[in-house]
Amino acid sequence: MFNPRYTQGTIYSGTHPGLLTPDQQHAAILSVHNSPALENGQISEHWKQQIALATQSRAFSSPHQRAHNAAALARTSGMGTMNYNARNNGAAYGGAAANASNALSGRMNSTTVSTTTSNNVGNNLSTSSMMVTTTTTKTEEKNGSTHRQARQDWTCLDLGGIGLRNVSTDLFKFSFLTELYINHNKLTRLPSEIGKLRNLVILDASGNNIKAIPPELGLLVELREVLLFDNMITVIPPELGTLYQLKILGVEGNPLQDVYKSQLMETGTTGLITALRDGCPVVPPPPEREWEKLTSDNDDANEKSLMVVSDAEGSSVPKLNGSNTNFKFTAMSYNILCERYATSTLYGYTPSWALAWSYRKDLIMQELAGYKADIICLQEVDVENFDTFFAPEMSIKGYKGVHFPKSRVRTMNEVERRVVDGCATFFKTSKFYMHEKSIIEFNQAPSLRRQNIKLTSNMYNRVMTKDNVSVLTLLESKETGHRLIVANCHIHWDPQFRDVKLMQVAMLMDELAQVATRFCSMPSKLPPDYLKDSRPTYSDYTKIPVLICGDFNSSPGSGVLDFLSSGKVEPHHEDFMNNDYGDYTFNGRSHPFNLKSVYSETQELPFTNFTPGFSGTIDYIWYTNANLEATGLLKGVDRNYLSSIVGFPNAHFPSDHICLLAEFKVKQEKAPLTNPKFSNDRK
């Protein structure tokens, strides 16, 4: 006999409802007066699907039935498994009963596992009690990085129909699971620890006595199906709004509140998830990111008094009484997520109001104003927002900006070019003069043409088809006369073009050497008599401090990072991907700058880009270690806060990237060693 279950307000008892045909189910529900699933006397297509899937689910009440079906299928077909997507081909998400059988008829993705019956499962799981039918690995690619999980010989677990009353929390240590079937048991709750199963694609907990859905289920953003038919659920928590990939939320046979039933009837699972997402309460904000001091210098004890003089242009210049060697400044790098790229298709887990540019741009400006960096390097700034928002707002705050969009603007009309993004650099006018601004267009290959290097077919077909840019600004301190080159770059994103990333960075370093050489001979913008005898001089271009900020779309261990940190790349480096790039792949490449990533002073951040599909470090601030010293940096985001969210952007973080911020001090140049002179006189 089947336990009584709620179905659209009617209690069924006696014969197992799974024995009713879909037509019988429909007739029974239509007999209920004022059923919320009725539209003009007809059941909506969305609810027909609910009923059809519920009927199929009820037929899987025997112990380990899906595992047995999968094993039988493997024996008869000679296949170790069947791929979920290939087998169903999306049919499970179509209209009503015809597609429902495809969705539920013994499907098991990758691997099927059955275990011995137990009232408390988790600690009892062992390899000997599992049926393994295939081996799988999972690969995710996002923003230029590839993550491959450790080999796992089973990814699905069938604990259905075995009378479970509790599920051990040890079960949720199996974070590799993609499918979990705990249907038709005697469970009264789902533990909150289920939020640890971040790879779960299908969850079936139908036919239990579950009274509430844990909010932590909303952390499982890989979910495509959540089947909770025939339980005692009345409320769907708004935290499930982050399940942007969910196609089926099966809740037929639950005493749901009418508001949820009506939404499902009218808009289906997708519409319900969208409504939950946009109406979900905002989680408490994280603690402020901490500042970490990297040196224990005593600069504050040796503060210099300032006077004010006028430069040749008539503006005020702070004049130092004393040595001019203690020059410090702060620099920020931040990919702000261009308005055009922030779509609900890519960021479906983000509430629409938090994804809107009108909300995000104000949050971005609050960050910029709050950190007050002396130099700010932004990526993904489009022409329209630079001209109408960032440049005016930053000017009010005492900054001057330089912006260059991607090279595609050359082929566009005025309307189209307004939405093209690029890199924007801002600097405090009270602290710096700007000598020069320039752009490096990587598809123009300026360094190759200057060096008369033959352009290969790979250069034309792979490198020159990508229109990424880097913005260079040549600055001079108004206080001390120290010079600084700032490169702001956004490297190509696609992990299938690792060679292009490496070539773009190699060309960037070639151009930096040319620019630095030219900067050495430029006259100072300081007043003629200011620091006349102690003004810094640069005997060669490697003496000028360099900052390289940006989104490199490259993780630690990549060819890009190896080249920047070591100063060279071998001609046959694997990231060239066996492509021919002339001298670059014949002789390799090197650069003369002694570069260091500021966050390597402690340890690279666990991530600078945080989304459900990818979490990793791809943004960096590089500096020339020979003449700059990192004295402090902004630490990462609070781990406890991160455990409660699925990704950025959200209400507190306006981009899928976080900003990087560091403080630097110019190192004092050591006096050259001289040979000691000894007198030959003897007394």
DSSP code of 533? T
Token couple for 34: 């004022």
Beta strand ranges found along 253-374 (DSSP E): 291-293, 306-310, 316-320, 328-335
Cα–Cα distance for residue pair 200/192, rounded to 1 Å: 15
Tokens read off for 210? 């579950």
Do 496 and 459 touch, CB atoms closer than 8 A? no
Residue 435's nearest CA partner among 315, 564, 522, 537 is: 522
H-assigned helices in 119-192 = none
Q: How far apart are alpha carbons 160 and 330 in whole angstroms?
A: 58
DSSP for residue 655: S
Burial class (CB in 10 A: 0-12, 13-18, 19+), 268: buried
Residue 252 φ then ψ, to 5°: -60, 140
Question: HSE on the CB side for 483, CA within 13 Å?
Answer: 27
Residue written as token pair 């009440």: 61
In DSSP terms, which residues pair with 92 in a beta bridge? none
* Contact in structure between 109 and 155 (CB atoms under 8 Å): yes
Phi, psi of 59, deg, nearest 5: -80, -10
Contact predicate 483/525, CB 8 Å = no
For residue 405, report the phi and psi dihedrals to the nearest 5 degrees. Answer: -85, 170
Helix (H) or strand (E) holding 664: strand 660-666
**Rounded to 5 degrees, what angle do the CA atoms 10, 5, 242 make?**
100
Examine the residue annotation and report whether 551 is marked as an active-site residue of this protein.
yes
Q: Radius of gyration of the chain from Cα atoms?
A: 31
Q: Whole-angstrom Cα distance, residue 289 to residue 306?
A: 32
Alpha helix segments (H runs only) across 65-191? 65-77, 84-88, 96-104
Q: Are 649 and 355 in contact (CB under 8 A)?
A: yes
Yes or no: say if 470 and 492 are a contact pair by the CB < 8 Å rule. Answer: no
Taking a C-beta distance cutoff of 8 angstroms, is the pair 614, 142 a contact? yes
- Residues 82 and 73: beta-carbon distance below 8 Å: yes
- In 3D space, the residue among 139, 89, 135 whose CA is nearest the CA of residue 112 turns out to be 135
CB-CB neighbours of 275 under 10 Å? 17
Strands in 660-666's sheet, in edge-to-edge order, are 291-293, 628-634, 660-666, 328-335, 375-382, 421-428, 399-405
Q: Closest by alpha carbon to 19, among 1, 37, 33?
A: 1
Per the residue annotation, which of 158, 551, 619, 656 is the catalytic one?
551
Active site residue ranges: 551
